[in-house]
Chain A
Amino acid sequence: MTITSKISRRDFLKVSSAAGAGLVLGFYLPYRDRLLAAETDSPLDFEPNAWLKIDTDGTTTIMVAKSEMGQGVMTSLPMIVAEELDIDWATVQMVQAPAHPKKYGSQNTSGSRSVRTSWEILRKAGATGRMMLIMAAAKKWNVGIKSCYSDKGTVVHRPSGRRFTYGELVNTASKIRIPSNVSLKNPDDFRIIGKSIPRIDTPSKVNGSALYCNDVKLPDMHYATVSRCPVFGGTVKHFNADATLQSNDVVDVFEIDRGVVVLAKSTWAAIKGKRLLNVTWDEGTNRDLSSKKITQLFNKRSEKKGAVGRKDGNVEKALELSHSTLQASYEVPFQAHATMEPMSCVADVHRDDCEIWVPTQGPQSAQKVVSKLTGFPLDKIKVNVTLLGGGFGRRAFNDFVTEAVQISKKAGKPVKLIWTREDDIHHDYYRPASKHILQGGFDNNKRLIAWSHRIIAPSIIFSEYITFPIPFKEKLDRVALHGAKDLPYTIPNILIDYKMANTAIPVGWWRSVYHSQNAFANECFLDELAESAGEDPFEFRLKLLSNSPRHANVLKLAANKSGWGNPLPQGHYQGISCHESFGSFVAQVAEISINEEKGVKVHRVVCAIDCGQVINPDTVEAQVESAIAYGLTATIKSKITIKNGRVRQSNFHNFKILRMDEMPQIDVHIVSSSESPGGVGEPGLPPIAPAVANAVFAATGKRIRKLPILPKDLKTI
């Protein structure tokens, strides 16, 4: 059985039939933020942003403008095309597109949306190609289409058994009109989608040949470091470069917008030259800013009502009428991204044009940045996207592109800008710190009838450095409500409000964005309510999830697979949580023990995920493992704190990240589903902090309302 899908003129622009080019289909991958699209609802002009090309030798190339940062997108997207095109996976090649202002639609790689937004059209693209090849074969044989079928890169004439390879058909196919209806495969017939196909980029990542930005080398390329004011918003007062200029291989020292540049003939000379630099800073107005003051600001803001994000029933009244109520507040700190590859960019600015090599999650905004700095039109700016040594949201900002271009322009040479780890920790766009005040009320039957959640946090989208148009009403940052507004539990009276509390600390998208803070508050408070109601935390949640079957399903699966409620090894305790983000539903059970000296030891995390149709199960598992590990650093290891207007942490000795011996065993259970694909890069993260915090309560009887959970926080128990 197959599913017939209508092909609209919006889906495919044209079939190119350039001589010798084979069959080329241009199509459009919608990458716009769903949320932004919903808010603005502007019709999108159709521009093809991806190509499927089949050469006369049968090689299939798919060009997609997504950045590979470890999430496996270079493999998962072609898998979808290959499935419907019915080809041998080994003949598929993936090409990373350079930035183009229009050609590829939005090239942003963020929001766990690469697969989920392109799934449907990639299937249609593959199916259309296959149909056209069948039509071409029928034409060549002069037989009916229905007597022909595809078979792994060939078309077969059923009655005679004759066979053409796709390569033999592409030139005929390219002259055929795009069919108005194509058949999509029945998911039961998938032989590529849903299989753990090895990642295309893996071999190059085990022998050192994978090319990251830091590895790019151009003729006459110079190396640059930048000394930036450690206090946010500070500027250069004056500097003395005598020692630097005497240092080996240092070529020049000069100022750019953000600080003082050391230009050198080698990376080491640039790093050493920076250490020898003596800069006096005008620390500006933020020199007294501290974590303490930010907490005070949050506390003050929390006293007043925020902009309402969700209002069901009447919470004030319900709380008044409640038989018993509970209130708790939670605090989450700033977090750094700390990608393993520090920020970098290679820029080569010429008289009339510019080329850059950059590991970015936003190639087009990088292109715009360069245009603004150089005055060159976009078509004179080539942005090559290299592999990303980790992204996690950090590389959606292109501040390092600005620096590299300013330096290359001033130096008149190709320049590789290198950030040190200290630069990276000191000048991130941090996960916003936040405060959450939650209230719950039970009626006299112990039924939860009221839930209010006030979020106090800096806004990312209302930050000065965000340049895209904000389609939201002033003061209501809907992104900050993610994971809070969409509370899945059935409670008759719900109020979610947001109080903006911006500070001078740059904030940005950090893996799962506000879901990480909001899930911590939600799921810890749920546990507190369960305790107050005298119920098991799993049963209590399950009862409230009667209208959220996918949540309920993963919750039950995680509980079941973790042996929830069964005896555990001595000293081990479990905590549970459940959260949906980016279209995927996740529940986790963390099993921990407490060590007086070392703090929380997480032994095992059982994770159930429903991310709809799975493309590559191994990638889903890998991303869940990764999200849990990333989330655990923020749960039990590190935070970013501010003193004297600057970040106190500087490198991995004081911004500690999870290590091999701290990595729990992670068991991932994927729900079999035919729903549309959900995201997988981020959804594994939000549930881990509350699952661990709830397990700490089970172990100690102490509620954790602040992250991270460090050994000293457990000593008073």
Chain B
Amino acid sequence: MSQFTLTVNGKAHSVNVDPETPLLWILRDTLGLTGTKFGCGRGLCGACTILLDGEATRSCMTPVEYAVEMEITTIEGLSVDSKHSLQLAWIEEEVPQCGYCQSGQIMTAAALMKEKSHPTDEDINVAMRMNLCRCGTYQRIRRAIHKAAQVM
């Protein structure tokens, strides 16, 4: 077991964990931030997406030591009042169905919007194609991203 200091949503946390533990399980089990989801464990579905220094990252494949000294942002820290333009657009477009993949979808979209404040359909295809949704909410995700871009 090893000690690590992680900065999650602007707050420093000291954790004592197996150094092989992927960041996902530290967020979920150790820190109780369960908004980040486990979907595949192999970086294939995007349900576990978080931001590492602003970049969309698969936390299920991220070794804990890699995240040390980086800014970790989870869905819980995307906004203080759940009113990030993407969250509002997600509600307006009624995007979620089962909802399980949506934290990951929103975090990936947040990283995209940081790079491109007005993404094109093709930008959305490229950025979002690694985030799977079995309920097939893609059409609404696309609309919500465009909507959020309008207000940003």
By a beta-carbon cutoff of 8 Å, the part of chain A in contact with chain B is: 69-72, 196, 198-199, 201-212, 214-215, 217, 223, 248-249, 266-269, 271-272, 338-342, 387-392, 418, 420-421, 618, 622, 625-630, 632, 651-653, 657-661, 663, 665-666
Nearest A residue (CB) for B1: A248
Which of B35, B100, B129 has the most C-beta atoms of chain A within 10 angstroms of its own C-beta? B100
- Least distance between A667 CB and chain B CB atoms (Å): 10
Nearest B residue (CB) for A341: B100
Question: Can you identify 12 A-B contacts, CB atoms within 8 angstroms?
Answer: A199-B96, A201-B99, A202-B95, A207-B79, A223-B29, A340-B133, A389-B98, A421-B42, A626-B136, A660-B128, A660-B141, A663-B136
Name the A residues within 8 Å of B58 (CB-CB): none
Name the B residues within 8 Å of A340 (CB-CB): 37, 39, 45, 47, 98, 100-101, 132-135
Let me know if A214 and B75 touch, CB within 8 A.
no
Name the A residues within 8 Å of B41 (CB-CB): 271, 420-421, 651
Let me know if A208 and B74 touch, CB within 8 A.
yes
Let me know if B96 and A70 touch, CB within 8 A.
yes
Let me know if B35 and A207 touch, CB within 8 A.
yes
Using an 8 Å CB-CB cutoff, how does the interface string of B7-34 with A read, 1 for contact, 0 for none? Answer: 0000000000110111001001110111
Nearest A residue (CB) for B30: A266
| A389-B37, A651-B42, A660-B125 known, 14 other contacts, Cβ within 8 Å | A208-B35, A212-B100, A266-B21, A266-B29, A268-B20, A268-B29, A269-B18, A272-B20, A388-B98, A389-B98, A421-B40, A622-B94, A630-B134, A661-B129
Which of A340, A388, A391, A661 has the most C-beta atoms of chain B within 10 angstroms of its own C-beta? A340
By a beta-carbon cutoff of 8 Å, the part of chain B in contact with chain A is: 1, 17-18, 20-22, 25, 28-30, 32-42, 44-45, 47, 74-76, 78-79, 82, 87, 90-91, 94-103, 106, 124-126, 128-142
Cα(A663)–Cα(B131), bound, Å: 13
Cα(A622)–Cα(B40), bound, Å: 25
Which of B25, B29, B40 has the most C-beta atoms of chain A within 10 angstroms of its own C-beta? B40
Nearest A residue (CB) for B136: A629
Let me know if B76 and A207 touch, CB within 8 A.
yes
Cα(A341)–Cα(B97), bound, Å: 13
Let me know if A341 and B94 touch, CB within 8 A.
no
The total number of A-B Cβ pairs within 8 Å is: 188
Cα(A622)–Cα(B144), bound, Å: 14
Name the B residues within 8 Å of A660 (CB-CB): 124-125, 128-129, 131, 138, 141-142
Name the B residues within 8 Å of A208 (CB-CB): 33-36, 74-76, 103
Let me know if A206 and B87 touch, CB within 8 A.
yes
Let me know if A622 and B97 touch, CB within 8 A.
yes
Nearest B residue (CB) for A69: B98
State whether A418 and B34 are in contact (beta carbons under 8 Å apart), knowing that A206-B96, A390-B135, A663-B136 are contacts in the complex.
Answer: no
3 nearest interchain CB pairs?
A208-B35, A629-B136, A70-B97
Cα(A230)–Cα(B135), bound, Å: 27
